[in-house]
């Protein structure tokens, strides 16, 4: 796909990567207007401090520990940002995993979602630890995931290990984007998943609409797909096909 992203589009996506809260948006606006964001030190101030013999010190910020978040439905803003199938995924530093589990039981389908911060346990592994920890070999499990990005090498290896030990689990993964697909080890992980019987697909426009209807707090509103959704699907679809052939 020639000239896939204009400079303006890439700038927009970088802004989207930071636009998680209104406060962050205000800081971005300040940066665009040439004013330093709150709490930041300009280059001129840093040079001045050093030239006057001062020592520039930055206090470390204490961050809360990351954890796996589970729920029934995703916030619509988070879905539109995290699941957008852009090529340049700046700011999308977590995985959202929407799942359906069918065991043929009279209780019906299990449905929900998990999200992580790519720190500690990833959503893919957390699914088997928290959502489906028990395994009954007498049952046949059909598990379907709609994920914001495809598994990393570590998660792919873990999934392969689980599928080998749980013979009656059939896993289908539909990914909005391909995570670091250029890396040979990532490609090897995707091939290993495929060879282990996992069905790997890239999300089509209809899959985004289905996920919106099934897993998002949408207030019964329809999803307005972004204009390059279909083009980006075809782009990722060809890449995945080439990897798995």
Query: Which whole-number Å values give the CA distances from 186 to 38, 90, 152, 240, in the listed order?
Result: 39, 19, 6, 11
Whether 124 is catalytic is yes
Do the Cβ atoms of 240 and 178 come closer than 8 Å?
yes
> Which distant-in-sequence residues (6+ apart) come within 8 Å of 101 by Cβ?
109, 110, 111, 131, 132, 141, 142, 143, 144
> Which distant-in-sequence residues (6+ apart) come within 8 Å of 186 by Cβ?
152, 153, 156, 179, 180
Residue 132's CB is within 10 A of a number of other CB atoms, namely 17
Across 167-180, b (16+ Cβ under 10 Å) vs e yields eebbbebbbbbbbe
Among candidate residues 13, 27, 115, 124, the one labeled active-site is: 124
What's the rounded Cα separation, in Å, for the pair 182 and 179?
Answer: 9
Q: What is the DSSP string of 147-191?
A: ESS---HHHHHHHHHHHHH-TTEEEEEEESS-TTTTSHHHHHHHH
The catalytic site residues sit at 124
């Amino acid at each position: 796909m020639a000239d896939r992203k204009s400079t303006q589009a890439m700038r927009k996506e970088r802004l989207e990567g930071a636009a998680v809260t209104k406060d962050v948006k205000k800081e971005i606006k300040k940066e665009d207007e040439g004013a330093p964001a709150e709490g930041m030190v300009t280059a001129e101030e840093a040079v001045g401090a050093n030239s006057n013999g001062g020592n520039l010190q930055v206090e470390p910020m204490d961050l809360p520990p990351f954890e796996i978040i589970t729920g029934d439905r995703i916030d619509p803003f988070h879905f539109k940002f995290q699941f957008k199938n852009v090529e340049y995924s700046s700011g999308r530093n977590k995985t959202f995993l929407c799942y359906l589990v069918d065991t043929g039981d009279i209780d019906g389908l299990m449905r929900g979602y998990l999200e992580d911060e790519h720190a500690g346990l990833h959503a893919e592994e957390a699914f088997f630890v928290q959502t489906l920890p028990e395994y009954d070999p007498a049952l046949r499990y059909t598990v379907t995931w709609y994920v914001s990005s495809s598994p990393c090498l570590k998660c792919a290896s873990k999934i392969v290990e689980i599928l080998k030990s749980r013979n009656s689990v059939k896993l289908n993964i539909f990914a909005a984007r391909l995570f670091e697909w250029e890396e040979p080890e990532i490609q090897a992980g995707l091939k290993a998943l495929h060879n282990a019987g996992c069905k790997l697909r890239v999300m089509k426009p209809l899959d985004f609409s289905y996920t919106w209807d099934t897993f998002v707090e949408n207030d019964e509103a329809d999803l307005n797909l972004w204009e390059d959704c279909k083009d980006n699907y075809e782009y990722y679809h060809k890449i995945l096909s080439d990897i798995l052939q």
